Each structure stands twice: as C-alpha cells, then as structure tokens.
Amino acid sequence: MVSRIITGKMHVFGNNIDTDQIYPGQYLDVTDHKEMAKYCLQGASDKFAEEFQKGDIVVAGTNFGCGSSRENAAIALKVRGVGAVVAKSFGRIFYRNAYNLGLPLIICPRIDEIAGHGEELTIDMDRELAINNRTGKSVEIEPISEYAMKILNAGGIKALLNPKRS
C-alpha cells in the first residue's frame, strides 16, 4: 500500500514543463534507469540536480509533463526518488506513465497559493489536502481515481499485472 501521507521539500516549477525539459532528447538513447535519473529535470533547472534530496516533492503549474510520450521522463523522476509531483494539471500521456510506474501525481488547482521553494509540503490523501508546513496554509487536492489508486497501491502496473515479479 502506498502511504496516504507524503511529506517533502518543495522544488517549484512554472507552467508547461514538458517532457523534453524533464528528460532532454539528447539522452533518449539511454536505457539504464539509474543513468536516466541523473538527467532528471535537467532541461528545466540547473540547480535541481544538486539541491534535490530523496523524497522531495516537485511542484508545478499547469500541464506538467506535456509533449512527448517518453516514459524516460517518468522513469527519471521515479528513480531519482521524487516523492510525488503536485501540479495544477498534467499532460495525459505522462499521467498514465507515472501511475504505471507507481509515481503519485497529485492534481491541485490552487497549489500556487501555498508553493514555496525549499519549504516543506505535506500531501494528505485522506483529508484531500496539500499543506505548507511552514505557513500552515492548506489547499484542496483532487482525489485520485479508484483505478489509479489500485495501480499505485500495487506499486505500479508491472507489479499489478505480474505479482510474481516483486
């Protein structure tokens, strides 16, 4: 079962962070997942690689993960250790890819009201809230669909379809 409460330091990005920025095209021939993780968000930020710590949360505006279908983008975030991505909306192929890998994506239309780079965020799936732990201010998150939750709880679609594997 996936934890119903996720807490981590925020890395804040803007709108339309496409999968080219999450995983630049020049590394698309890489097949090793650990190596993919090194390039995570390289096209969007020069600082992310050094500032990021395992379990941190990526926060963004609208349409995060738009563009190319490259699963490498979701793999890089997952293997890098991103705890969750919270955004106002997500590109649909990226959304499926992330859930298939067991990476929680949280839709939060008012996240910009509480986003603060480097501050701690708590996502509470039971109370359907995102909370900035410094200011105490909270905003609503959209519930995760039953189907997506089933995939997440299994640890991704691969474990769901092939339980012998894990």
Nearest distance from residue 161's CB to other proteins, in Å? 4
Tell me how far apart the alpha carbons of residues 122 and 92 are, in angstroms, rounded to a whole number. 24
Nearest distance from residue 71's CB to other proteins, in Å? 4
Tell me how far apart the alpha carbons of residues 132 and 101 are, in angstroms, rounded to a whole number. 26
Torsion of CA 67, 7, 107, 138, to 10 degrees: -140
Nearest distance from residue 95's CB to other proteins, in Å? 8
Token pair belonging to 25: 């095209």
Map residues 94-133 to x or -, x wherever contact with other proteins holds by CB under 8 A: x-xx--xx--------------------------------
Nearest distance from residue 59's CB to other proteins, in Å? 17
Helix ranges, the chain (H): 19-22, 33-38, 48-51, 71-80, 92-101, 146-154, 157-161
Residues engaged in binding other proteins (CB under 8 A): 15-16, 18, 20-21, 24-26, 28-31, 43-44, 62-63, 66-72, 74-75, 89-94, 96-97, 100-101, 147, 157-158, 161-162, 164-165
